[in-house]
Structure 1
Amino acid sequence: MIGLFNDCFPPIMDGVSLTVQNYAYWLQKKTGSVCVVTPKSPGVTNKEGYPIFRYSSIPIPMRKPYRLGFPRIDFPFHNRIHRLSFSLVHAHCPFSSGNLAMRIAKNKKIPIVATFHSKYKADFERVIKNKSLVNWLLKNVIDFYESADEVWIPQAAVEETLREYGYKGKVEIVDNGNDFSDIQDIDKKRSTMRHSLGIKENEFMFLFVGQHILEKNLIFLIQSLNLIKEYPFRMFFIGSGYAQKELQSKVVNLGLSHKITFLGTITDREQLSHYYAATDLFLFPSLYDNAPLVVREAAALHTPSLLIQDATSAEIINDSINGFLAKNSPEEFAYKIINIIQKPQMMHQVGLQASHTIARSWEDVVEEVADRYQNIIHRYYTKTTLPTFDLNRA
């Protein structure tokens, strides 16, 4: 069995939880032997076609709906998880779930893969003002990745962050995918959704999807929109987070409430796809993200994105080819938006090119992942002179 370990899983929605969900879905179809290990969320029942093992947790202050897990003290969970016959474990987070995966790998003498998804230093620095403590936590993160048999990153630019943190080992680039690649009738989705939202013929629709946290540069985004408020547009924010009320207050104070709408979290993927399809331009000014799924999701629905030049997340974007880039100032970001919407045909062509170049399907990605797992298992057991395992039978 392949074990996928992460500190959150749907219905808690973010890019990493969606990654794990899609890994599990497609691995189950391919191998029939996968499970997810994650903290408990209140009131959640397993409706997936594969087992999900959840351990005790408590809410993380200021980070709703995220949970802090305690697998060591959850004895019924502990007994169940250690009876499973894993052939490989894959940690998508270096904290409670990742440490559990590492212990299982060492105890059972099986390989562990660890993917580096997030800029953890920024998370630490937001809540911890002691630099020495931040450095100690960061060292623990790097020690975790140094102990893995293989470390994956979702795109090449992420390696720079890992090296900055002190990691010295090898990395393997494994793309992220998206689950909107095969959607049909995009033009119909677009017209239907714009009509239901009351978007006028001459109005442009902008969208942001993600956590409503200051690290995502969302005050910057609202300031940029304020600079173009004379232009006909509607802006929709989808998601939730600790900064949501602050962002809403900022919108009210700037007199932008008639143009900017906060929709909260949308967990229905079909409904979310309608918003992507209806959008003219996806706005993503974050310097915090490594390889955001939302940019790929927008691309799958033929919607181009505007990102900050030289941001890690912008590595996959060629300006005015498969997306757009702006300098890191609200004025430059606003100027770029104006420049783009004045050329609607170009915006449309860039969206089409984005769908061809950065919207890879999860089915395709996980086909590659399964092959990589098989090779890692083969190398590991060859190295340790133990019998090899067939992933499709593990």
Structure 2
Amino acid sequence: MRSGEKVYGLFNDSFPPVLDGVTLTVQNYVKKLVESGRKTCVVTPWNPVQEPYDGFLLYRYFSLPIFSRHPYRYGYPKLDPFIWRNLNRTPFALVHAHCPFSSGRLALHVARKQHVPLVATFHSKYKTDLEHSLPSWMVRRVMRRIMSFFEAADHVWIPQQRVEDTVREYGYRGKLTVVENGIDFSMSSFADTSAYKVEARKRLGLAPDEMVLLFVGQHIKEKGVEIIINAVDRLRDLPVKMLFVGTGYAVDEMNSMIKQLGLSGRVKLYGVIGSRQRLMDFYAAAHLFLFPSFYDNAPLVVREAAVMGTPSILLRGSTAAEVIADGFNGFLAENTPESYADIVRRLFADKDCIMRVGRNASATLARPWSDIMDDVMQRYQYIIESYGRR
């Protein structure tokens, strides 16, 4: 079977206009698969905001908003007869689920009905997500369903080795394969990156003497946004500017907290930035990327900051910090505002250290999607051929 004769299915519960790390991963999978000449289909819940797309199939199905996790939506394919018709008439070579919820269940349906392999990537700490909005008895029930989904997959991928700890904690005992995520930003050299950083600060209207701190991601408590704001409160004697990019259920509380602490002149929330070029400016303009999260597995944002020469401060012992050597390609802090503030204060007086660690971060953490997807497509081909021999 030639790869171009059938369709590669990518299933996820979010897709633009919803933006997060998993969405970006799926977007880059689509881009590289289409560029390689492979027919590709994305299956995702319907969204009232429609963005243009070209070169691939896009099947959306009935959904409703998740009010506790705006702007996410939950899909209800059982209420949408059209999605089943579209899936049944599409000849898939392989289906890859990036989420175990409604889209993942659709991927499992296709795999069983069409007798094709199912790959499932374990991207998130799903139990933490559920505990935010569900009672404990329901969390246990949903987690059993999630793990039954992964147990039904032919191949389970994780984005970095340390994620195995979470998967095993959840009860999965099968084989795991590490398949990293990549970066769609690039600079030809670190000298070019340094020059770009200067221009980016000018474009964003940031003063030359300001130390710029950045967070990009969901504005939720699990990401440690309150720790960041409290850390900035402890740095009032320094010319520090904190920039938040993204959205989430905690935005209103963050705004209230900023006003109560009198930090409106030091902390700014920019909302979602859809332009990758403009987002690149934010990463470049920052001196440090702050990411106090035990919630994340393998956050793309840390790697995106790294490619722009901006090192991150992560939590010691977190899954995300697996790729960080403290003081070499990033910095590790304790889970307190005081610890974050102390590191920022020390580095404010040692800009050479920031530059050195930023250079190392760029060299060690920024692997382009083109390299990743060469590996992915080889794995896809092997999985398809192996499945056909069973």
Structure 2 equivalent of residue 62 of structure 1: 68
Figure out how many residues of one structure are paired with residues of the other and give that number.
382
Tell me: CA distance 1:176–1:40, structure 2 relative to 1, closer, same or farther (3 Å): same
Contact 1:181–1:360 (Cα < 8 Å) also in 2: no
Give distance in 1, aligned partners of 2:351 and 2:194. Answer: 15
Structure 2 equivalent of residue 132 of structure 1: 137
* Equivalent residue in structure 1 for 2:339, among 332, 335, 340: 332
Identity %: 47
* Equivalent residue in structure 1 for 2:388, among 381, 390, 394: 381
Give distance in 1, aligned partners of 2:147 and 2:261. Answer: 42
* Equivalent residue in structure 1 for 2:205, among 170, 195, 198: 198
Q: Structure 2: give runs of 5+ residues left out of the alignment.
A: 1-6
Contact 2:95–2:118 (Cα < 8 Å) also in 1: yes
Structure 1 equivalent of residue 158 of structure 2: 153
Q: Structure 1: give runs of 5+ residues left out of the alignment.
A: 384-394
Give distance in 2, aligned partners of 1:352 and 1:333. Answer: 21
Give distance in 2, aligned partners of 1:128 and 1:291. Answer: 25
Task: Tell me whether 27-36 or 368-377 shows the greater mean CA deviation.
Answer: 27-36
Task: Tell me whether 327-336 or 211-220 shows the greater mean CA deviation.
Answer: 327-336
TM-score (normalised: structure 2): 0.95
| Cα displacement string for residues 314-341 of structure 1 (whole angstroms, at most 9, x for unaligned residues) | 1011111111111122211211111222
RMSD, aligned α-carbons: 1.3
Tell me: CA distance 1:275–1:260, structure 2 relative to 1, closer, same or farther (3 Å): same
Q: Which amino acid aligns with 2:73?
A: R
Once the two structures are TM-superposed, the CA of residue 30 in structure 1 deviates from its matched residue by 1.4
Structure 1 equivalent of residue 112 of structure 2: 106
Where 1:297 maps in the other structure, the secondary structure is: helix
Contact 1:205–1:280 (Cα < 8 Å) also in 2: yes
Give distance in 2, aligned partners of 1:258 and 1:157. Answer: 38
* Equivalent residue in structure 2 for 1:44, among 42, 50, 75: 50
* Equivalent residue in structure 1 for 2:232, among 225, 228, 232: 225
TM-score (normalised: structure 1): 0.94
| Cα displacement string for residues 41-67 of structure 1 (whole angstroms, at most 9, x for unaligned residues) | 113044232111111111111211111
Once the two structures are TM-superposed, the CA of residue 202 in structure 1 deviates from its matched residue by 2.0
Tell me: CA distance 1:111–1:274, structure 2 relative to 1, closer, same or farther (3 Å): same
* Equivalent residue in structure 1 for 2:24, among 13, 18, 23: 18
Structure 2 equivalent of residue 175 of structure 1: 180
Give distance in 2, aligned partners of 1:19 and 1:369. Answer: 12
Structure 1 equivalent of residue 100 of structure 2: 94
* Equivalent residue in structure 1 for 2:126, among 117, 120, 125: 120
Contact 1:46–1:52 (Cα < 8 Å) also in 2: no
Structure 1 equivalent of residue 360 of structure 2: 353
| Cα displacement string for residues 223-254 of structure 1 (whole angstroms, at most 9, x for unaligned residues) | 11111121111110000111001001111111
Where 2:197 maps in the other structure, the secondary structure is: helix
Contact 2:187–2:193 (Cα < 8 Å) also in 1: no
1:310 aligns with 2:332: no
* Equivalent residue in structure 2 for 1:244, among 208, 232, 251: 251
